[in-house]
């Protein structure tokens, strides 16, 4: 049956979505843990590589000429490039480029940015640790991110790549849900999206297809996934889009895939009015 095939496809899609979401969350967690464990203002480079770095400045700094650079090893240099506004918090930032000589030995160096008018004993306006690695394998092993260390994948980019995939899964899931709803409606069925036990029995909630006429007091039949009757229920409330019904005396949980089906009109009571 088409409805069964659609339901199986929706279940597989749900499992795929769960796997992608778990991977997405793991990437975010890996990124956060690595960032918190990594000392701030640290850059990892190989001999001959360059990287852009930046830092915040006091508002009094308006010209690049007011800044100077302190380097403690000629093999690692910092070139100030420009001043700019901060991306998130505003303020003034300096932007520069760190360069490592091709023949630099492995080790940790430090470069600092300081206002020229500042005394040497005051803290600098910016400081970066430059970790020089002997080769790419050494740098990869030093990463605190598990994805970077073992797979060579940037966790932030991996998490970002999951976003369009999750969007497609949600969109396709919505499409399958609407298709399943239409197929059930063609059979006179509505899927139960919520059920709860009450003292009188079991109260079920189900959606109504467009044009479905269900009024309070009508009787519906609760069926299982194989469309076998389970119990009858009487509609209590409806708003035109959703309805609730009470199955008196039904105390067992409903099986997965349970639906409601409109039953025939209640037969006239004995002794009641009849039509010739």
Average pLDDT in the chain: 86
HSE on the CB side for 265, CA within 13 Å?
4
Measured CA to CA, the distance from residue 13 to residue 43 in angstroms comes to 41
Mean pLDDT of 144-153: 87
**What residues pair up with 97 in beta bridges, in sequence order?**
52, 79
pLDDT score at 72: 87
pLDDT in tens, 64-102: 889 999 988 889 999 999 998 877 667 788 899 999 999
Interacting residues of 120 by C-beta distance below 8 A, sequence separation 6+: none
Q: Tokens for 173?
A: 């899931």
pLDDT band at residue 264, thresholds of 50, 70 and 90?
Answer: very low
The pLDDT > 90 percentage for the chain reads: 36
Strand order in 76-85's β-sheet?
A: 50-57, 92-100, 76-85
Confirm if 180 and 3 have CB atoms less than 8 A apart: yes
Rounding to the nearest 10 degrees, give the CA dihedral for residues 167, 171, 176, 177.
Answer: 100
Identify whether the C-beta of residue 238 lies closer than 8 Å to the C-beta of residue 208: yes
CA distances from 150 to 113, 144, 154 (A): 35, 10, 11
| pLDDT at residue number 153 | 86
pTM of the model: 0.65
Residue 108's contacts (CB-CB under 8 Å, 6 or more residues apart) are 129, 130, 131, 132
Q: For the CA atoms of the chain, what is the radius of gyration?
A: 33
Mean predicted confidence (pLDDT) in 105-128: 89
pLDDT of residue 262: 74
Has residue 267 got a pLDDT over 60?
Answer: no
Other C-beta atoms lying within 10 Å of the C-beta of residue 113: 22
- Mean pLDDT over residues 17-29, rounded? 94
Residue 269 has pLDDT above 70, yes or no: no
Q: What own/partner pairs with CB < 8 Å and gap ≥ 24 does 16-22 have?
A: 16/169, 17/166, 17/169, 17/170, 17/173, 20/162, 20/165, 20/166, 20/169, 21/162, 21/166
- Residue 38 burial (CB count, 10 A): 15
How are beta strands 42-45 and 126-132 bridged, if at all? parallel
Q: What is the pLDDT of residue 227?
A: 85
């Amino acid at each position: 049956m088409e409805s069964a095939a659609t339901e199986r496809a929706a279940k597989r899609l749900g499992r795929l979505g769960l796997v992608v979401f778990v991977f997405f969350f793991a990437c975010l967690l890996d990124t956060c843990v690595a960032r918190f464990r990594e000392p701030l203002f640290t850059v990892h480079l190989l001999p001959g590589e360059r990287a852009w770095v930046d830092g915040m400045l006091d508002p009094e700094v308006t010209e690049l000429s007011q800044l100077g650079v302190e380097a403690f090893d000629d093999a690692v240099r910092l070139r100030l490039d420009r001043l700019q506004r901060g991306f998130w918090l505003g303020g003034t930032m300096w932007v520069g480029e760190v360069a490592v000589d091709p023949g630099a030995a492995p080790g940790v160096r430090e470069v600092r940015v300081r206002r020229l008018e500042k005394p040497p004993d005051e803290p600098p306006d910016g400081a970066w640790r430059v970790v020089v690695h002997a080769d790419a394998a050494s740098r990869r092993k030093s990463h605190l991110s598990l994805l970077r260390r073992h797979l060579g994948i940037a966790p932030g980019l991996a998490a970002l790549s999951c976003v369009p995939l999750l969007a497609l899964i949600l969109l396709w899931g919505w499409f399958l849900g609407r298709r399943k709803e239409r197929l059930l409606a063609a059979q006179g069925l509505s899927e139960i999206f919520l059920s709860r036990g009450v003292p009188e029995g079991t109260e079920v909630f189900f959606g109504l297809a467009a044009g479905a006429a269900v009024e309070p007091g009508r009787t519906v039949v609760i069926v299982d996934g194989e469309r076998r009757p389970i119990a009858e229920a009487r509609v209590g409330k409806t708003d035109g889009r959703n309805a609730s019904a009470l199955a008196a005396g039904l105390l067992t949980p409903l099986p997965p895939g349970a639906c409601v089906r409109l039953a025939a009109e209640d037969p006239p009571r004995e002794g009641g009015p009849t039509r010739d």
